[in-house]
Amino acid sequence: MVSKRRSNGDIKYCMVHDLIREFCSSKLEGEDFKQRIVSYNSSQVPSSPKDPARLCMYIHDNLVNQLELHGYSLDVISMVDSEEKESLEFIAHPRFYSTKCMDLFSLLDNLRLIRVLHLLDINMESTWEFQISPASTLEKLTHLKYLAIFVKKFDFKWVSHMIGLQTLRVHSHQRIKTSPDIWKMKKLRHVDITEFSFIWEDDEQEQHVLDNLKTFGKCRVSLADMNRKFWWRFPNLEELSLSVVNFHGMTNHSLFPTPEIHNRLQSLEISFPIGFSTSIGWFKSVFPMNVRFLSLAGISLTEEVVTSIAALQKLETLKLFFIHFPNNNLRWDVTDREFKVLKYLKLELVDMNQWESLDTSFPMLEKLVIKDCEQLEEIPSSFADIPTLRLIKLINCSESVRDSAQSIKEEVENTQGYERLQLHIPKNF
């Protein structure tokens, strides 16, 4: 599990349970996978292994400098015999980067057995080779299990030959359109692309299923996608992120018609276009029954939608962004609703001025975050009676909302005699 991240969001280090470590060790031993530790002092040459095991190498700073000077030729690594170069599968460095783009492709030529390639810090589009033929640049890599790249354009055709690929991350400053060749990648488990959509062919077959896919997003879906309902063919999804576009004129279409679809789904993020309303048929939808994290943006919060949310018996986190209510109503009444295990509630740009709630509406709530709800007049006083509430955070809210939060905090202190509830209002807000 990720234990600490750097300031830019990258993973700094992870902690692994001892049982997982033992499992990984036994797996590596079973596959005859060895690790060569390359020392800082290149004169300290360890003895070569007697058995022809596959080799994993970890390179330190001084060797990275040598590789860059020599075009990433493995001949400069005195610790590696010529026989071992044929079985070298993974070279790792904690801060790997390429100052010369051509060096990158020289590296790939020498490391065709590499399993992990993380290049999010390198703009692939700035290289002449990648611009001319991105597919041929990547076609040499057939053993990858993890690929992360930063590009302007991307197509699943470029990586569909990587039949063992499990994790694909693609970052871009632009929206990506791609062919649906994802169906060829049966071992794919995680897809993280900034924002993309599929370009469907009329004769595109729809019987394919990706049983191993666990996370998928962020995909833009439209009417053509709704007709195909391609995400229904990812039956074991655990995390899904969709951006709904071009639904105008649609009727009788829903994202999840029955709660049994995706019963393993735990995290769901859906954003809708501005002006999206119940007339399109969204109110017919229900959510997968085991969702624990739900984020909705741009919808009309109808009674039907609220009922579907409250029906989620395992929902712990709810985020509502850019929300409006039907018939220009500015009042949200949940006095007759119960979000049984909800622990975290965030309201951002919710278009309401009145909010009515009981302590039984959110009986397990721990954190309440309200941001940019400038019309909201106050937080319901019933929040003082929620025994689990630990934090109220307000960002760019009215003075009356801040006063109501302070009143709730004081009531908790007066009735319980200690500072159980924290009130956080960032400066300049």
| Range with the poorest average pLDDT among 230-234, 314-318, 402-406, 410-414 | 230-234
Q: Quick check: 339 pLDDT over 60? A: yes
CB atoms within 10 A of CB 287: 22
pLDDT of residue 103: 54
Place of tokens 């949940």: 334
Q: Quick check: 159 pLDDT over 60? A: yes
pLDDT of residue 406: 96
For the segment 58-67, what is each residue's pLDDT rounded down to a tens digit? 555 566 666 6
pLDDT of residue 48: 47
Q: What is the DSSP string of 76-145?
A: G-TTS-HHHHTTEEEEE-TT---SSHHHHHHHHHH-TT--EEEEEEEEGGGSHHHHH-HHHHHTT--S-S
pLDDT of residue 383: 97
Percent of the chain at pLDDT > 70 equals 65
Cβ partners under 8 Å of residue 387, min gap 6: none
pLDDT of residue 127: 57
Alpha carbons 273 and 300: distance in angstroms, whole number: 11
CA distances to 91, 246, 285, 302 from 280, in Å? 52, 11, 11, 13
Rounded to 5°, angle at Cα 273 from 334 and 333: 10
Please tell me the pTM assigned to this model.
0.78
Q: Identify the band that residue 408 occupies on the pLDDT scale cut at 50, 70 and 90.
A: very high
The structure tokens listed for 113 are 């057995």
Q: Assign domain 115-246 to a CATH class.
A: alpha beta
pLDDT of residue 233: 85
Phi-psi region of 211 (alpha: psi -120 to 50; beta: other; left: phi over 0): alpha
pLDDT of residue 44: 44
pLDDT of residue 24: 75
The structure tokens listed for 185 are 């990648």
Interstrand relation of 344-350 and 167-171 (parallel, antiparallel or unpaired): unpaired
Q: What are phi and psi of 227, to 5 degrees?
A: -65, -35
Average pLDDT over residues 80-108: 54
Please indicate whether residue 176 or residue 84 has the higher confidence score (pLDDT).
Answer: 176
Q: Using only the alpha carbons of the chain, give its radius of gyration.
A: 26
pLDDT of residue 67: 65
pLDDT of residue 240: 93
Task: Quote the mean pLDDT of the chain.
Answer: 78
CB atoms within 10 A of CB 80: 20
For the segment 172-226, what is each residue's pLDDT rounded down to a tens digit? 888 888 888 888 899 999 999 988 888 877 655 566 889 999 999 888 887 556 6
Alpha carbons 147 and 168: distance in angstroms, whole number: 5
pLDDT of residue 175: 82
Q: Quick check: 250 pLDDT over 60? A: no
**Beta partners for residue 14, in sequence order:** 2
Place of tokens 């005195």: 78
> Are the CB atoms for 215 and 190 separated by under 8 Å?
yes
CB atoms within 10 A of CB 181: 15
For the segment 17-34, what is each residue's pLDDT rounded down to a tens digit? 778 778 777 776 666 555
Q: Which residues of 368-406 are buried (b: 16+ CB within 10 A; e: fewer)?
A: bbbbebeebebbbebbbbbeebeebbbebbbeebbebbe
> Are the CB atoms for 163 and 186 separated by under 8 Å?
yes
CA distances to 42, 73, 75, 105, 283 from 85, in Å? 17, 11, 9, 17, 59
Q: Where do you find CATH 3.80.10 in the chain?
A: 115-246
